[in-house]
Amino acid sequence: MKLALLKGNRFNPWHLQGFTRLRGNPEVTAFRAESQIQQHFNGRDDGSLQLHEERIFFDTQAGNPLSRIGNVFRERYRGRNPEILPFHERLKDFDVIQTWELFTDWTLEALEAKARYGTPVSVMVWDNVPFNMETNRRRIAIKRRAVAEADRFIVYTERSRRTLLLEGVPESRIAHVDPGVDTARFEPGPGDRATLGLDPEAFTIAFVGWLVPRKGIDYLLLALRELVNDPAFANTKIQLLIVGSGAGMDRVEGLVNRLGVGDHCVFAGSMPYSEMPNVYRSADVFALPSVASEQWQEQFGMSLIEAMACGKPVVASRSGAIDEVANGSAALCQPNDFFTLFEALKPLVLSRERRDDLGARGRKRVLDKFGLERHALQLSDVYGSLNGSEHAEE
């Protein structure tokens, strides 16, 4: 089987591991577009994916030079979104096309290939906000066409499944697949704090993610200030390990300075994926304080199951799918609220027994539900059904 993988500008090692373990070792070709987002992911790639790649381009990167200059101007000064140059002709010889989200240019190109060559199309949907991203007529048209024409819709959460039902997708065309993490790589063990610049004796809370407001780092910093000022921790050094980068660095550093918690924060920047197990093992608690907004709620949280796989207790907000993913294996708090985040963290700082119990429950949850091999087999079943070889050992 030849599988065309259209993930836009979001090719990263934590989402794509399963595609290297599909049943029968199909030929997988990744069609990639470069952008600032993709460059961020490239820095995290540890070289383990080994997928064949083909480059595609935005209309600000290739094509007619005058049009390209005009598109760059409109993108920079008028809020225009760059569009992918058509590439559906390059999908002609594939057996299955996997694209992502209802509203993307990649999904439009996949549907064009299906219309021309009859290739079945699967749409991978992380979004869990009904009728989201309907910002212009073009996106609305792409979404409606996807709902009408795509052969299968892969979802990772019940929230995404229900979102698709509300958008008019028949339940018979929806397949639930559980994301997976390599539990042999992400497993409990000692961490090397020295490589991260951490105080070996301090109680360490880890945050992993982009420094954008929706990931909740601002609320975590406010909760950190509450912790370090709490009399219960007068004799406890507390430090926050921040692993991530992005356009929000100035905002985050400004808040750190205003709160006076600079001595309690360690900025590690973006790190290769191969080094992430040590990040989780070096922490006493992992925090995922994602916020909820009109256009976005946490769609899954791969760092959530990575930390749980390492046996670390997790504190997270009830944003989007987090409650569903954790399923009783994390301490949850109200989103967009530093005080309830502080209240969820405090008992774990105080009690090693609570941390050990929550960490053990998290590890078991991942072993039972989110193993990488299980994820790859579920994907294989979807593609087999589309390719006429369901459950077949190719």
Q: Does residue 300 fall inside a structural domain?
A: yes
Sign of CA dihedral 275, 328, 203, 216: positive
Regarding whether 105 and 198 lie in a shared domain, the answer is: no
Q: Comparing C-alpha atoms, which of 186, 223, 199, 228 is closest to residue 315?
A: 223
Whether the per-residue pLDDT at 241 is higher than 80: the answer is yes
pLDDT tens readout for residues 43-77: 555 555 667 888 888 777 666 666 666 655 566 66
Q: Does residue 204 fall inside a structural domain?
A: yes
Q: Does residue 188 fall inside a structural domain?
A: no
Regarding whether 172 and 69 lie in a shared domain, the answer is: yes
Spatial separation of the C-alpha atoms in residues 6 and 376, rounded to whole Å: 17
Structure tokens at 159: 């929230």
Regarding whether 205 and 106 lie in a shared domain, the answer is: no
Regarding whether 304 and 290 lie in a shared domain, the answer is: yes
Regarding whether 345 and 217 lie in a shared domain, the answer is: yes
Q: Specify the number of domains making up the chain.
A: 2
Which segments of 42-109 are extended strands (E)?
A: 52-56, 96-100
Whether the per-residue pLDDT at 343 is higher than 60: the answer is yes
Domain, as residue range, for 14: 2-180+371-386
Mean pLDDT of 155-161: 97
Q: Comparing 77 with 125, which gets the higher pLDDT? A: 125
Angle between helices 217-229 and 338-350 (to 10 degrees): 50
**Cα 34 vs. chain centroid, distance in angstroms?**
18
Regarding whether 155 and 53 lie in a shared domain, the answer is: yes
Regarding whether 166 and 67 lie in a shared domain, the answer is: yes
Q: Does residue 392 fall inside a structural domain?
A: no
Q: How far apart are the first and last CA of the chain?
A: 8
Mean pLDDT of 83-106: 94
Whether the per-residue pLDDT at 392 is higher than 50: the answer is no
Q: Does residue 268 fall inside a structural domain?
A: yes
Tell me what the pLDDT averaged over the chain comes to.
90
Regarding whether 162 and 52 lie in a shared domain, the answer is: yes
pTM of the entire structure?
0.90
Q: Does residue 59 fall inside a structural domain?
A: yes
Q: Does residue 187 fall inside a structural domain?
A: no
Report pLDDT for 202. 97
Regarding whether 156 and 83 lie in a shared domain, the answer is: yes
Residues ≥6 apart with Cβ < 8 Å to 353: none
| Buried-exposed string 353-375: b where 16+ CB fall within 10 A, e elsewhere | eebeebbebbbebbeebbbbebb
**Residue 195 Cα distances to 13, 199, 204, angstroms:** 22, 11, 14
Residue 378: HSE in the Cβ half-sphere, 13 Å Cα cutoff = 18
Structure tokens at 190: 């000692």
Report pLDDT for 83. 83
**Residue 275 Cα distances to 196, 222, 271, 300, 338, angstroms:** 10, 28, 7, 21, 29
Task: Give bridge partners of residue 4 from the DSSP assignment.
Answer: 29, 97
Whether the per-residue pLDDT at 99 is higher than 60: the answer is yes
Structure tokens at 391: 């459950």
Q: Does residue 291 fall inside a structural domain?
A: yes
Regarding whether 87 and 51 lie in a shared domain, the answer is: yes
Mean pLDDT of 240-255: 93
Regarding whether 201 and 343 lie in a shared domain, the answer is: yes
Mean pLDDT of 108-121: 98
Mean pLDDT of 366-379: 97
Contact 25, 58 (CB under 8 A): no
Regarding whether 219 and 89 lie in a shared domain, the answer is: no
Q: Comparing C-alpha atoms, which of 152, 62, 77 is closest to residue 107?
A: 152
Confidence of residue 387 (pLDDT cuts 50, 70, 90): confident
CATH of the domain at 62: 3.40.50.2000
The string of DSSP letters for 250-315 reads HHHHHHHHHHT-GGGEEE-----GGGHHHHHHT-SEEEE-----SS------HHHHHHHHTT--EE
